[in-house]
Chains A and B, each alone.
Chain A
Amino acid sequence: MNYMDKTEFNQRLAAILDVEEVKPDNVLKDFDSWDSLAILSVLAMADAQYGVSIKAEEIRSVVTAEDLVRLVEAKRK
């Protein structure tokens, strides 16, 4: 697996959350749009773009955008 482009991941996350930008230390729950639809969209994005299958509970358990990147990265290995 090639190295994961974190900037690109955060751009995809920003598109899902309907915001301009997501920074690594942003807390996901602080976004108004962080709801079940956003979680499903992240799950779909992880599957389509990174070929990993993540459970919704796993996504719910992470705190920041950086944690989410780490979760996807860990699954790819």
Chain B
Amino acid sequence: MNFIFRRKRIAGVLVVVPENERSFSEDMKNFNFPEARSLKLKEVMGFDKRRVVKPGVCVSDLAVFGLEHLMGEGLLKRDEIDALLLVTQTPDHLMPATSSLIQGRLGLKQDILCLDINQACAGFVIGLMQAFMLLEQESVNKVVLINADVLSRKTSPKDRNIYPLIGDAASIVVVERDPEDSVIHASLKMDGSRAGALIIPAGGLRLPSSPETAHLEEVGDNNLRAKDHVFMDGSAIFNFVQTEVPPLIENLLARAGVASEAVDYFLCHQPNRFMLEKLADKMKVPYARMPNNVVEHFGNNGSVTIPTVMAYNLRERLLREQLQVCLAAYGGGLAWSAMLLKLGKLAFNTIIEYK
């Protein structure tokens, strides 16, 4: 489905990554896997360094750290936050909403809407859409969109298919009304019939966590995984992205009347370098205009990968000038989304470390 938003803008981007760094080469020593093939994986997929939290660190810890940083630097005032949206799949508790916990810890005002949004890798675009809609209200002038996950904590250390590539992070993006007459186009599709391709089977009410769901099971290729852990059907996700995402973006650009060449950057979700190169090939976009290096520096940090691309690759440019960008976010649900907007002249665009 298609959306149009007017007079909205992203004002600033902050990414919080844990200081704790792991290396793919070191992690792969824990698996019974030929070193030559590990090197090949590293080369093809771009797996190298990733950031993960230490035991016990939760989504609200990363978010509060980042918001306190912004307030301490005078980049955000405590009382100007009218809505706090948190996109996460790894909340602190089943109830209450983690966004409310963040509000409480920071002592934010009571005239505020706190809302958790349960979305995966498509969650940055979905979160932005929600923020834009809230800004239609006169009483809402500033929305803080937080994307955060600590998925490493739900990943089996014995599952080579996913453990060495997951990163943890949070992003805090301030969204506000644009004095310019800007138009933002977005497209979104969902297919819950394919929900099983990315799932944590246990831990909800359908299958509560128990000693049985914590038991590591042989799942093929010498990998072990419990039902408490995240499962990803990597090849199904690959096919899904290559099939669904290019037409979604093509239709979005056609609707907006913007040629692919006029897009300065395609800022896409970053599962690995390989998938992004194949996506760029299919869309006939040069690799330089579709950055793919988040995974090698930070790991796949879910819905935070797009803000990470902004802050890591385009820090100075986005502070200084305005660029025409196309966002594309896709993942669990399944959900896939794209958004075309002018991005830039940000008040802040940076990455800090959570200690």
Q: Contact at A36–B161, with CB atoms within 8 Å?
A: yes
Q: Contact at B278–A44, with CB atoms within 8 Å?
A: yes
Q: Contact at A43–B238, with CB atoms within 8 Å?
A: yes
Q: Which parts of B27-58 form the interface with A (CB within 8 Å)?
A: 34, 37, 40-41, 44-45
Q: Which residues of B contact A53 (CB under 8 A)?
A: 239, 242-243
Q: What is the number of residues of chain A that contact chain B, defined by CB distance less than 8 Å?
A: 17
Q: Which residues of B contact A39 (CB under 8 A)?
A: 235
A21 interface hit (Cβ, 8 Å): no
Question: Which residues of chain B have a CB within 8 Å of any CB of chain A?
Answer: 34, 37, 40-41, 44-45, 161, 221, 233-236, 238-239, 242-243, 274, 278, 281-282
Chain A 35-69 per-residue mask, 1 if CB under 8 angstroms from chain B, else 0: 11101110110011000011110000000000000
User: Which residue of chain B has the shortest Cβ distance to A32 in the bound complex?
Assistant: B34
Chain A 15-44 per-residue mask, 1 if CB under 8 angstroms from chain B, else 0: 000100000000000001101110111011
5 additional A-B pairs beyond A44-B278, A48-B282, A54-B239, beta carbons within 8 Å, are: A40-B274, A43-B239, A48-B278, A53-B243, A55-B236
Q: A47-B242, A55-B239 are in contact. Are A40 and B234 (CB under 8 A)?
A: yes
A32 to chain B, nearest CB (A): 7
B40 to chain A, nearest CB (A): 6
Name the one of A32, A37, A48 contacting B41, with C-beta atoms under 8 angstroms: A37
Q: Which residues of A contact B281 (CB under 8 A)?
A: 48
* Distance in angstroms between the alpha carbons of A48 and B275 in the assembled complex: 12
Q: Which residues of B contact A43 (CB under 8 A)?
A: 235, 238-239
* Distance in angstroms between the alpha carbons of A55 and B281 in the assembled complex: 20
Q: Which residues of B contact A40 (CB under 8 A)?
A: 234-235, 238, 274
* Distance in angstroms between the alpha carbons of A43 and B275 in the assembled complex: 11
Q: Which residues of A contact B278 (CB under 8 A)?
A: 44, 47-48
Q: Contact at A36–B236, with CB atoms within 8 Å?
A: no
Q: Contact at A44–B236, with CB atoms within 8 Å?
A: no
> Which of A32, A44, A47, A56 is packed against the most chain B CB atoms within 10 Å?
A44
User: Which residue of chain B has the shortest Cβ distance to A53 in the bound complex?
Assistant: B239
Specify the main secondary structure of chain B where it touches its partner: helix
* Distance in angstroms between the alpha carbons of A40 and B239 in the assembled complex: 10
Q: Contact at B234–A18, with CB atoms within 8 Å?
A: no
Name the one of B37, B221, B243, B274 contacting A33, with C-beta atoms under 8 angstroms: B37
B330 to chain A, nearest CB (A): 16
A15 to chain B, nearest CB (A): 12
Q: Contact at B238–A44, with CB atoms within 8 Å?
A: yes
Name the one of B40, B236, B242, B243 contacting A37, with C-beta atoms under 8 angstroms: B40
A49 to chain B, nearest CB (A): 10
A-B pairs, top 8 by smallest CB distance, nearest first, are A56-B235, A53-B239, A44-B278, A47-B242, A37-B41, A43-B235, A40-B235, A53-B243
* Distance in angstroms between the alpha carbons of A55 and B242 in the assembled complex: 13
A41 to chain B, nearest CB (A): 7
A27 to chain B, nearest CB (A): 18
* Distance in angstroms between the alpha carbons of A36 and B45 in the assembled complex: 12
Q: Contact at B242–A36, with CB atoms within 8 Å?
A: no
Q: Which residues of A contact B274 (CB under 8 A)?
A: 40, 44
* Distance in angstroms between the alpha carbons of A44 and B37 in the assembled complex: 18
User: Which residue of chain B has the shortest Cβ distance to A18 in the bound complex?
Assistant: B40
Q: Which residues of B contact A56 (CB under 8 A)?
A: 233-236
Q: Which residues of A contact B221 (CB under 8 A)?
A: 35-36
Q: Which residues of A contact B238 (CB under 8 A)?
A: 40, 43-44
* Distance in angstroms between the alpha carbons of A75 and B155 in the assembled complex: 35
* Distance in angstroms between the alpha carbons of A32 and B34 in the assembled complex: 9
Q: Which residues of B contact A54 (CB under 8 A)?
A: 239
